[in-house]
């Protein structure tokens, strides 16, 4: 028998007898920002991100993580994430901290952000859709989880300086979508504010940690369980939302 034919037959037998190919690599970027220089401190984002990072490692993700990052360090972590995504089957980005929407576009804030004028928006923040594009370009599945709707600390200053330029900063985050193979989870509904929490974790992160990795569930099952727990814990104040084009 031709040696190559033996190899193909052996591989087929392995599959028929219950063997499987190695699972595709899964890579996560986890960032938690709480100690803001110009926007007030948030108590729980670093705790939330550290706990989520550990949970993701426990269930098999390769994790790139960072805490209380300035703009340069955030860009460095995103670059490291891009490198780690090479050959991955799925990418996941979890962010906890301040997030804002301006003119319907969402941004996450490094701890050194000082958005006193609209012109600084692109210089001192990170557009969230850039991170989605990064994952979509390199993997078949892109997952974005945002616990970043706590408030817009710069809404008043941005709107005051931009009244004549048609720029509008709103509360919460704007709705988002993505290309095929994308899942986006928000800690609360678009335009709404999420609670930071009074314990170690935010209500959203606490529920996510409770259910992440439960056997036999899809990611949509996960979000239903998280949504139920957050609604109960916040007495209907906060309702996590999600959008997906998973196949």
Question: How far apart, in whole angstroms, are the C-alpha atoms of residue 241 and residue 237?
Answer: 13
The first and second tokens of residue 161, run together, are 């300086």
DSSP 8-state class, residue 229: H
Q: Which residues contact 118 (CB under 8 A, 6 or more apart)?
A: 102, 158, 161, 162, 165, 167
* Residue in this structure with the two tokens 């190695």, named with its chain if needed: 22
Nearest residue to 135 (alpha-carbon basis) of 193, 171, 84, 209: 84
Of 149, 158, 195, 205, the catalytic one is 149
Based on the residue annotation, tell me whether 98 is a catalytic residue of this protein. yes
Please state the separation of Cα 81 from the chain's center in Å: 13
Of 55, 98, 150, 227, the catalytic one is 98
Based on the residue annotation, tell me whether 149 is a catalytic residue of this protein. yes
Give catalytic residues, as residue numbers.
Answer: 98, 149
């Amino acid at each position: 028998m031709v040696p190559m034919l033996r190899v193909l037959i052996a591989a087929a037998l392995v599959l028929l007898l219950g063997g499987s190919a190695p699972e595709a690599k899964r890579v996560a970027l986890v960032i938690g920002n709480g100690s803001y220089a110009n926007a007030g401190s948030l108590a729980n984002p670093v705790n939330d991100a550290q706990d989520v990072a550990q949970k993701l490692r426990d269930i098999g993700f390769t994790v790139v993580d960072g805490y209380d990052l300035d703009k340069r360090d955030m860009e460095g972590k995103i670059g490291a994430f891009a490198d780690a995504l090479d050959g991955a089957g799925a990418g996941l980005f979890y962010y906890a901290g301040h997030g804002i929407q301006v003119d319907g576009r969402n941004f996450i804030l490094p701890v050194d952000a000082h958005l006193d004028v609209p012109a600084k928006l692109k210089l001192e923040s990170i557009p969230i859709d850039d991170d989605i594009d990064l994952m979509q370009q390199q993997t078949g599945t892109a997952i974005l989880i945002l616990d970043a709707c706590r408030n817009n600390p710069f809404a008043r200053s941005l709107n005051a300086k931009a009244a004549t330029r048609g720029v509008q900063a709103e509360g919460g985050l704007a709705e988002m979508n993505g290309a095929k193979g994308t899942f986006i989870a928000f800690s609360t509904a678009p335009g709404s504010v999420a609670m930071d929490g009074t314990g170690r974790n935010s209500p959203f992160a606490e529920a996510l940690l409770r259910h992440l990795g439960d056997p036999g569930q899809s990611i949509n099952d996960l979000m239903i369980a998280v949504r139920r727990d957050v609604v109960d814990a916040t007495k209907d104040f906060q309702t996590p939302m999600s959008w997906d084009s998973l196949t």
